[in-house]
Amino acid sequence: MDDAQETAVAGIRSKLSRANSQLDRLHHEMAVFNDNEPYAPLNPKVNADHTRWVYRMNFARPMPLMWAVVLGEVIHDLRSALDHTVFQLTFDFTGHELPGTGFPISDQSARWDIRRDRTIRTDNPLGFTRDCSMYQIRGVGPGVVDYIKRLQPHSSPSPKTSPLLALQQLWNQDKHRLIHFWGLQLVESRSELTVKGSDRAHTIKFADGVLHSGDEAITVLFDGPALTGSLDGKLGTSIAFENPANPDPGPEDRLWRVHDATAGIVGTLLAAIGHQRDPIP
């Protein structure tokens, strides 16, 4: 690589480093927020025969707005690093810049390779349409093309769990509005709850997944009409992140997985500079 390309590659790595440092900041602030018990005392909603009491999640304070701002910075740096990498690979392989390059992320296989552009130009000899994925990587080597195609959500047996799809959806949404995908996850192993003063035997059930203010969090089922008692004890929680690409997210689907996947892809692609015809494992 010449000096200009080495500087460009250093800039790409700096974007990843910046995203990582911002995630470290989020991790610290989330831990402090959670340790200060961000939920307020819960009030039950009782059914007609007093056999089922439902406690909703009530936040004592909202999750910090700055988290959404930091999230936007992280997502932009990660998405930008992917696009900059393809730009550098294109220059490396062709010896010149091409318009419209970028890292494609698609969950539709039909949009991958479309060749209906009848205006054949020297920078697009195969006639890829500008809205198909191959147009963005028409100037990279075959080894890189094959690798990027294998990474696509549509190439996965479970596209909705793809970290790249989550990154793309986060990026698209952040361009238009501040977004929060955080909530609280109940941790039963760290909770010690009982219904103090109850006149009935009972079972306490914890809600699964990521909870937001107003969501049903705890359900107490009694073996008959319960007229006395109050929920008492300790509630264990953790900050959880939802994957916007998955309509049924789980609390283990963390934002950090998006970063780790992106950083790994960028590192692998940068290592292909100079030998893009070779297959990438």
pLDDT of residue 121 exceeding 80 = no
Going by C-alpha positions, the residue among 121, 77, 99, 95 that lies closest to residue 276 is 95
CA dihedral (165, 170, 176, 180) positive or negative: positive
pLDDT at 199: 85
Domain annotation covers residue 46: yes
Q: Collect all residues with Cβ–Cβ distance below 8 Å to 28 and sequence separation of at least 6.
A: none
Residues 82, 12 contacting (CB under 8 angstroms)? no
Residues 222, 50 contacting (CB under 8 angstroms)? yes
Q: Pull the structure tokens for residue 129.
A: 């349409």
Going by C-alpha positions, the residue among 114, 112, 89, 93 that lies closest to residue 102 is 89
Task: Write down the residue that tokens 């079972």 correspond to.
Answer: 203
Ramachandran assignment for 37, one of left (phi > 0), alpha (psi -120 to 50 degrees), beta (any other): left
Q: Could you give the CA distance from residue 237 to residue 187 in angstroms, rounded to a whole number? A: 5
Domain annotation covers residue 276: no
Q: Whole domain around residue 234: which residue ranges?
A: 3-270
Q: What is the mean pLDDT of residues 51-63?
A: 92
pLDDT at 118: 67
Domain annotation covers residue 246: yes
Number of domains the chain is built from: 1
Residues 202-243: pLDDT tens digits?
999 999 888 999 999 999 999 999 988 899 999 999 998 877
Check residue 41 and report its DSSP letter: P
Residues 141-171: pLDDT tens digits?
999 999 999 999 999 888 888 999 999 999 9
Q: Average per-residue pLDDT in the chain? A: 91
Domain annotation covers residue 193: yes
Domain annotation covers residue 281: no
Residue 111 burial class via C-beta count within 10 angstroms: exposed 0-12, middle 13-18, buried 19 and up = middle
Q: What is the mean pLDDT of residues 116-143?
A: 89
pLDDT of residue 253 exceeding 70 = no
Proportion of the chain above pLDDT 70, given as a percent: 96
pTM of the model: 0.87
Domain annotation covers residue 102: yes
pLDDT-wise least confident of 129-138, 141-150, 174-183, 262-271: 174-183
pLDDT at 132: 95
Neighbouring C-alpha atoms within 13 Å toward the C-beta of 150: 10
Domain annotation covers residue 277: no
Domain annotation covers residue 280: no
